[in-house]
Amino acid sequence: MGTTTVYLRNNDIGRKLSSLTKEELEELGDRSPYKDDNHSLGWHVPLELHNGNVQILVFWKGRLMRLDQAPKELNRKYYDKYTGKTRKEYEWTILKKSVLNELNGLDKDFKKSLKILKTDRNSTSQLNDKS
């Protein structure tokens, strides 16, 4: 199987994909989300699907990279631009903590929505039992 590239519209002046010529579509198909030149004709290449597997991408300090390559590339100490100091932690450690915190927050929201859904189902079933 080949590679499918998924495009998101980058700005309002981009033309519709259906109105592009074959040459323009081939030019877009040659773009990769891992390169700096991933913009063309007002379109942006955000991710690629390889053989049905989605590559998880992370955005770190203006760079888009695959998650499995992030530990190799983020092997420097983290420079905090707000304080102007280099921290004792590596960039990968900071990214890992922020991703885990975000996942924990999403997990709490998910569990809360399941709990609400469960209580709604119980209350409707009790109303049906009474009637």
- From its phi and psi, is residue 96 left (phi > 0), alpha (psi between -120 and 50) or beta? alpha
pLDDT in tens, 80-103: 888 888 889 999 898 889 888 988
pTM over 0.75: no
Structure tokens at 33: 């989300």
> Which residues have C-beta within 8 Å of that of residue 94, sequence separation ≥ 6?
78, 87
Q: What is the DSSP letter of 94?
A: H
Pick the closest to residue 38 from 73, 10, 71 (CA basis). Answer: 10
Position 70 scores a pLDDT of 86
Position 105 scores a pLDDT of 92
Round to the nearest angstrom and report the end-to-end CA distance of the chain. 57
Q: How many CB atoms lie within 10 A of CB 107?
A: 10
Range from 15-29, 47-61, 109-123 that averages highest in pLDDT: 109-123
Structure tokens at 36: 């700096």
pLDDT > 50? residue 109? yes
pLDDT in tens, 31-88: 766 677 777 776 777 666 555 566 677 777 777 778 888 888 888 898 888 888 888 9
